[in-house]
Amino acid sequence: EIVMTQSPAILSVSPGERATLSCRASQSVNSYLAWYQQKPGQAPTLLIYGASTRATGFPARFSGSGSGTEFTLTISSLQSEDFAVYYCQQYNDWPRTFGQGTKVEIK
Amino acid sequence: QVQLVESGGGVVQPGRSLRLSCAASGFAFSAYAMHWVRQAPGKGLQWVATISSDGNKGYYPDSVKGQFSISRDNSKNTLSLQMSSLRAEDTAVYYCAKGQYYDGSGHFDYWGQGTLVTVST
């Protein structure tokens, strides 16, 4: 099983600042990596797929990068609506696995 | 627009069975694989099942293999998850999600709002 490890667990950021979230895979997942955003009481929403392709509806301040085992989600200038939990997921191999999540909170 | 609406959750005693359903609309249901993902209270996401578009192939993690069974009715645009021998650790919100492709590869591009399953006496 591919283990996905996200860091940090909690990221405290002021509105307008940059946020950098990391996701590491225990073995290569190529570029088969997705990021999901989950707000309190809501279902997850697809944010990034293929490691770097933004899903419909998300603004350009969200960007994904990486391949193999190291991935990064960057939010260039945090807005109030971006405070949420972010999960990475690999879909290179079975079983599909998620990271434990990074909570982005207001500083 | 894509809509996924789960139902069937509730309180169930340990050892009993429960069947969840997901009604899909707004896309060609029979052309895409479908998935179930769960989230225990206050915890992260865990994938629990995938079914191919034609219903012939199912995938499960070892943690639920033999306990959960995924199925679909393409004539009714409905996805199901049959859960048996339920344990307290199966308590979670269960989400259905649409797959990117027909065979289970790809990401999960749309999610339902979830249905809560509570396993308790």
- Contact between B118 and B10 under an 8 Å Cβ cutoff? The reply is yes
Determine the distance in angstroms separating the CA of A15 from the nearest CA of chain B, rounded to an integer.
25
Q: How far apart are the first and last CA of chain B?
A: 40
pLDDT range class, residue B25, cuts 50, 70, 90: very high
Average pLDDT over chain A, rounded to whole? 97
Residue B45's φ and ψ, nearest 5 degrees, are -90, 140
CB B31 within 8 A of CB B103: no
Residue A81, both tokens: 């609506």
**Alpha carbon of A51: minimum distance to chain B alpha carbons (Å):** 11
Interface test with A, best of B45, B96, B111 (most A CBs within 10 A): B45
Q: Tens of pLDDT along B81-93?
A: 999 999 999 999 9
Contacts of A91 in chain B (CB under 8 A): 105-107
Distance of CA A69 to the CA centre of its chain: 14
pLDDT tens digits along A79-93 = 999 999 999 999 999
